Amino acid sequence: MPPCREAGRSWILGCAGSGWIDPPLHGASLAAGLSGAPVAAAGRVAAAVAGPRPALSQPRDDRYWLTRGDVLKAASKFPEAMAAYEKAIAASSSNLIKANQAPSGPLKPEQAIPAPPLELPTATQLQASGVQGLSLEQALAIAFASSASLQAQRDQVAANLASLQAALGTWWPRISAVASGGSGQSGTWLNAPVGNGGLGFGPQFSPNGLATPGGGTTAGAFSVPSGGGAYLNQSQSQVQAGLELQYALLDFARSPSVQAARARLRSARNSYAASLRALQLQVSEAYYRLQQADQTVRIRDAAVRNDLLILQDTEDLRRAGLVPRLDVLRRRSIEASDQEQLIQALADRAVARRQLAVLLNLPPQLTPAASDPIALQPRWPLDLETSLLAAYRGNPELEAILATRDALARNSSATAAGLLPKLSLFANAGGSAGNTNQFDATVSNGGCCGATLIPVQNNNGYTWSVGLTLRWLLFDGGTTAGQARSLAKQADATAQQYAEQRDAIRLRLEQAFFNHEASLAKLASARRALAASLEAFRDVRLRYQAGLSSELDLSNTQERLIGALVSRLNATVGVNISYAQLLRELLPVPRDPAAPLTPQLQLAPGQQP
């Protein structure tokens, strides 16, 4: 390959020096193959794609371009053009430049602690923009620990566990302590319009039934004259306490209720496991998209810088009378268009960073950046049929539906049991104590009522009882039976949900499988296209400098080279994303939220059927 500088010019797109490092395939890079035999290199790439791919160790950095410092050093004789380019990019948007700043260092665990769930970010937090780099494994570990949706699933599992414990408690008796107490006061007016002297009950009831020592008569002890009355006040205080026991000896709804609670717990745990799989895929896709955005920015940035250098050369050739003015205008148009694409690439990378931050539930003042270089995932080790069978086996999404179906069936049985008799044992025992005060007693018109008045009276006692209660709902207008039928129909409907989910899993897996195979094939094609585009660009820029080729040929060749770079990048990311999608369907995950989680980026040999 020619050096990166020729005739005083730096042709960045045509440079294939040490700054261009291709992701290795079976340990051989494409740049190495270009130095001597591009056709043979392409054949090795195609053979590698067709055969098995071992896991890559120590992946190399895939920059695609010279570093920024190398480019500026090579273009030192064009400071005005580079300064104008830097100024144009900086003027595009200060917020855009701020969102695309380089990471200040690796992300520390204490920096990833999420904000409280019910707290909104402050203006200070939103203005702060700390960019920290993290690896894919670190991103997955943070997501598993901090994801808001995953924490909601954990809480749901805990809620269903508590419901199961509550259902199990129905097998035990209910013992309650009861107590009551109170105090009050009352006033009583008594009046006898008709006396009791005419009843003939003897002298004790007659108004003159008893003789006095002086020879007269007096009323009997129980005589009440007509119109006699009395008034008194009374205050009472009373306290009662005891124990009550209730126990269902015969309850046909108890067993199905417990079984329904167990099924709901299984469903929640399987939903949690399915959420783990989905979250790993979401984080992996977001991370790969961020890597793709990073590389796209590098490609677009190098394209613009290359445009400026070519534009300078074109202007020099125009002043020498070797090319028409049209070439200069076309180069200026191309440079402006490439600047637009660079600005959009910066915006896409800022959005990709924020999407990853949302999935990781990072603090509002923190922005993540991808620190891992792009490393090609190996070929999926299973064929399509084996992958499908393994995806169906123990799939938490399908098991969650089956558990939900079981819970609905058990709930239907528990509801229908409401029409059956229920026998319960009850027992209670307790004691009571009271105090009665009677005061302010007065009489009128001779008094009345003859009751014995006790000023202060205390009383206490105890009570106990044991018995059985039988409750049998004979008629409720069909309410209970209708509820039971509704739950049974809901259980039947889950069978269709199971079939729908089964088909969705197959579609997802087949789509990922075919896309994975296509991405591997496209990667081989993209590498062959890139090799040819590099050679073509090197030839056409030499011909253009010699006046043997037009600027239009140079522009078309440059555009094809950039397209080949983008195609190789997209194919590489496509391989990784489709592998993550396949892994999602077979990834072993725990059902217990308390179990440890270890990010797994490849299907382990022991997990293959």
pLDDT of 226-246, one tens digit each?
878 888 888 989 999 999 999
Helical ranges in 147-216 per DSSP H? 148-168
Cβ neighbours for 586, distance < 8 A, ≥ 6 positions apart = 387, 390, 391, 603, 607
pLDDT of residue 609: 56
For residue 29, count CB atoms less than 10 angstroms from its CB and return exposed for 0-12, middle for 13-18, buried for 19 or more: middle
Q: What is the pLDDT of residues 379-413, one digit of tens each?
A: 999 999 999 999 999 999 999 999 999 999 999 99
Once rounded to an integer, what is the mean pLDDT over residues 582-608? 87
The counts of H helices and E strands in the chain are 14, 10
Q: How far apart are CA 403 and CA 501, in angstroms?
A: 14
Helix (H, G, I), strand (E, B) or coil at 390: helix
144/605 Cα distance (integer angstroms): 24
Separation CA 305–CA 68 (nearest Å): 10
The residue with greater pLDDT, 197 or 49, is: 197
Q: Using an 8 Å Cβ cutoff, are 250 and 421 in contact?
A: yes
Residue 584 near residue 280, CB atoms below 8 Å: yes
Q: Percent of the chain having pLDDT more than 90?
A: 48
Higher pLDDT among residues 459 and 84, named by residue: 459
Whole-angstrom distance, CA of residue 379 vs CA of residue 50: 9
Give me the DSSP letters along 431-458: EEEEEEEEEEEEEETT----PPP-SEEE
Cα–Cα distances in angstroms (integers) from residue 541 to residues 36, 423, 520, in the given order: 20, 97, 31
Region of poorest pLDDT, from 2-6, 27-31, 116-120: 27-31
Gap between the Cα atoms of 62 and 373, Å rounded: 6
Task: Tell me the pLDDT tens digit for each residue of 267-309.
Answer: 999 999 999 999 999 999 999 999 999 999 999 998 998 888 8
Q: Which amino acid is at 157?
A: V
**Taking a C-beta distance cutoff of 8 angstroms, is the pair 40, 33 a contact?**
yes
Pairing state of beta strands 174-192 and 130-134?
unpaired
Apex 158 CA angle, 155 and 159, nearest 5: 85
Is the pLDDT score of 522 beyond 70? yes
Find out whether 411 and 487 touch, Cβ atoms under 8 Å: yes
Give the span between the Cα atoms of 10 and 206, in whole angstroms: 141
* Residue 539 burial (10 A CB sphere; 0-12, 13-18, 19+): middle
Per-residue pLDDT band for 28 (boundaries 50, 70, 90) equals very low
Inter-CA distances, 99 with 86, 213, 351, 352, 580, Å: 16, 121, 9, 11, 27
Nearest to 310 by CA among 504, 78, 101, 478: 78
pLDDT at 144: 94
Residue 442 φ then ψ, to 5°: -135, 155
Q: Which residues pair with 316 in a beta bridge?
A: none
Average pLDDT of span 447-453: 68
Give the pLDDT band (50/70/90) at residue 568: very high
3 state DSSP class of 368: strand
Query: Which string of DSSP letters, residue by residue, matches 237-257?
Result: EEEEEEEEEEEEEE-TTHHHH
Cα 207 from Cα 164, distance rounded (Å): 78
Q: Determine the Cα–Cα distance for residues 222 and 204; give it in Å rounded to an integer.
A: 6
Looking at per-residue confidence, does 88 or 143 come out higher?
Answer: 143
What is the per-residue pLDDT for 562? 93
> Is the pLDDT higher at 223 or at 85?
223
Angle between helices 136-146 and 254-319 (to 10 degrees): 140
Count of beta carbons in the 10 Å neighbourhood of residue 431: 13
Q: Which domains does the chain have, with CATH numbers?
A: 5-15+60-108+128-162+260-404+487-607 (1.20.1600.10)
For residues 512-519, average pLDDT: 96
- The C-alpha atoms of residue 269 and residue 164 are separated, in whole angstroms, by 13
3-state secondary structure of 175: strand
For residues 229 and 448, is the Cβ–Cβ distance under 8 A? Answer: yes
Question: pTM of the entire structure?
Answer: 0.77
Q: Over 80: is that where the pLDDT of 64 sits?
A: no
SS3 416: helix
Angle (CA) 315-321-327 rounded to 5° is: 45
Structure confidence at residue 125 (pLDDT): 77
Is pLDDT of 430 > 60? yes
Q: Looking at residue 28, what DSSP letter applies? A: B
- Tokens describing residue 336: 């402006």
Q: In what order do the strands lie in the sheet with 422-444?
A: 174-192, 228-250, 422-444, 456-471
Give residue 105's pLDDT: 86
Percent of the chain at pLDDT above 70? 84
DSSP state of 116: P
pLDDT confidence of residue 119: 84
Which DSSP helix (H) or strand (E) runs through 214?
A: none
Beta bridge mates, 174:
246
Cα-based distances in Å from 36 to 40, 41, 42, 380: 9, 9, 12, 31
Tokens of 490: 């809901």
pLDDT greater than 70 at residue 58? no
Distance separating alpha carbons of residues 232 and 382, to the nearest angstrom: 99
Cα separation, 282 vs 521, whole angstroms: 25
The answer, yes or no, to whether residue 485 has pLDDT greater than 90, is yes
pLDDT at position 449: 72
